[in-house]
Amino acid sequence: MLSAYARLRDRGVACASSAADTILELFARMLFLAIRPNEITLVAVIGACSELGALGHGVWAHAYAVKRRLAVNCIVATALVEMYTGCGRLDLAEKVFTTASDRDTLCYNAMLHGLTIHGHGRAALTLFDIMPRAGVLVDGVTMLSVMCACAHAGLVDECLEYFDRMEIDFGIEPRIEHYGCVVDMLSRAGRLDYADKLIHEMPIAPNAAIYRSLIRACSIHGKLELGERMVAKLMRLEPDDSGNHKTRKEMKSMGIDKNPGSSLVDINGVLHEFLVGDKTHPASKEIYAMVEEIETRLSEHGHRSSTSSVLFDVEEEDKADTLSYHSERLAIAFALIASNAGAPIRIIKNLRVCADCHESAKLVSRVYGREIVMRDRTRFHHFRDGMCSCGDFW
Ligand SMILES: [Zn+2]
Ligand SMILES: [Zn+2]
């Protein structure tokens, strides 16, 4: 599998992960030279597996540590929790967490984050309540996870309460990411005027992500005037950003392009990578035929492509003609051809999944009877029987 990573790196696709590749290669060399790894080595290796979504390697590193009696201390346990949640195995993460001999703030934070990104908001809140009783300090990261957990579970008022309490009860000053979480939640809940007010009143300068949350909501709720105002602020903040639709065409002609969408799918331990509209895969012909077949079957089940919200859509992939060829569609089509019937499909995507691909994946899970686990830029989606664990909130 290491050679698969090397291949990706050579193509310049996974350049952000090249450090992780190097760590795994070094680890393999250490073992070959019979140099005994210690806990620090282990944490680096587990972190690399987490970044690459290389579950198989991660499980192996964990088993190696247990077998060689390397101390699974707090730091190693935290790394394992992060790796297992990052690879879509919340069950294994919980097992490591509950059996860890001691757990500090970082360890709790890792577990809280895992529960949150996997859509287990209520469980995250229960875990948070245990922290003070267990004598574990709460920090800004803890608060962010708890607020996101509320937001994802649709607990708007609870989230606002935690936001208000963090400074009073825990002495933690809200940072940009806390404001971002609240603005995003208010936007999704349709409380746009409140979000606008918060942006106006916050003591630190809003960032692009905050404007984007509100812009997206304005587009959904038809608040064009507020949306335009936020787009203007975003443009002022990021005049060179290639993601803005309004200037996308001009930018393309100037030679600036967006980060292309790419998806990795794991078939029997080998990673296959697809870019948007990719035709380089050896099975490309079959894959495109499968994409067509999926489209036909899904349309029989009432699926209609939606290309709305193009005006304000500032971070997803191109919609119009490439919709069916978004990288995850190709990855899913290939997995349906190449993996065993009924086997879960695991996909790692570099961008946020678009609404149409999300809808399509939900239907595929039902029509083809496959569980699909997709990690996108921000969170996990477990598609099963026509539903997604995110509750359409991402
Ligand atoms: Zn898409
Ligand atoms: Zn989802």
Tens-digit pLDDT profile for residues 357-379: 999 999 999 999 999 999 988 78
Judged by DSSP in three states, 367 sits in: helix
Q: Where are the domains of the chain?
A: 1-102, 262-388
Residue ranges near ligand 2 (ion) with Cβ within 5 Å: 381, 388, 390
The stretches of 119-262 forming alpha helices (DSSP H) are 121-133, 140-152, 156-170, 176-188, 192-201, 208-221, 224-237, 245-253
Q: Which residues of the chain have pLDDT under 70?
A: 1-18, 71, 241-259, 305-324
Rounded-to-integer distance, Cα 319 and Cα 307, Å = 6
Place of tokens 């002495």: 171
What distance in angstroms lies between residue 95's CA and the mean position of ligand 2's atoms? Answer: 24
pLDDT per position as a tens digit, 76-112? 999 999 999 988 899 999 999 999 888 999 999 999 9
CA of 388 to the centre of ligand 1 (A): 15
How many whole angstroms from 276 Cα to the centroid of ligand 1?
A: 9
Ligand that comes closest to the CA of residue 323 = 1
- Report how far ligand 1's centroid is from the alpha carbon of 287 (Å): 16
CA dist 392 and 191 (Å) reads 18
Task: Report d(CA 321, CA 278) in Å as an integer.
Answer: 14
Residues facing residue 349 across a β-bridge:
263
Residue 357 C-alpha to ligand 1 middle, in angstroms? 4
Q: Which ligand is nearest to the CA of 387?
A: 2
Cα–Cα distance for residue pair 348/354, rounded to 1 Å: 14
Among the bound ligands, name the one nearest to the CA of residue 355.
Answer: 1
Measure 362 CA to ligand 2 centroid, in angstroms.
8
Which pLDDT does position 306 carry in this prediction?
60
Q: What distance in Å separates the CA atoms of residue 24 and residue 389, rounded to the nearest whole number?
A: 31
Name the 3-class secondary structure at 383.
strand
Residue 2's pLDDT is: 39
Whole-number Å distance, alpha carbon 345 to ligand 2 midpoint, is 14
Closest ligand to the CA of 392? 2
User: Residue 375: left (phi > 0), alpha (psi -120 to 50), or beta?
Assistant: beta
Question: How far is 7 from 324, CA to CA, in rounded Å?
Answer: 26
Which positions ≥6 away from 347 have C-beta within 8 Å? 263, 264, 265, 328, 331, 332, 335, 372, 373, 374, 375
The Å distance, Cα 352 to ligand 1 centre, comes to 8
Other Cβ atoms less than 10 A from the Cβ of 142: the count is 23
Helices marked H in 87-175 — which ranges?
Answer: 90-99, 105-117, 121-133, 140-152, 156-170
Q: Ligand 2 centre and the CA of 71: distance in Å?
A: 37
Separation of CA 5 and ligand 2 centre (Å): 27
**Ligand 2 centre distance from Cα of residue 243 (Å):** 22
Question: Token pair for residue 138?
Answer: 């709460």
Residue 208, SS3? helix
Look at the alpha carbons of 170, 175, 179, 182 in this order and tell me if their dihedral is positive or negative: negative
Cα-to-centroid distance, 176 and ligand 1 (Å): 29
Question: Phi and psi dihedrals of 388, rounded to 5?
Answer: -125, 145
Q: How remote is the CA of residue 389 from the centroid of ligand 2, in Å?
A: 6
- Spell out which residues have Cβ within 5 A of ligand 1, the ion: 326, 354, 357
Q: Are strands 372-375 and 270-275 parallel, antiparallel or unpaired?
A: unpaired
Question: Two tokens at 7?
Answer: 């291949």
**How far out from the chain centre does Cα 32 lie?**
34
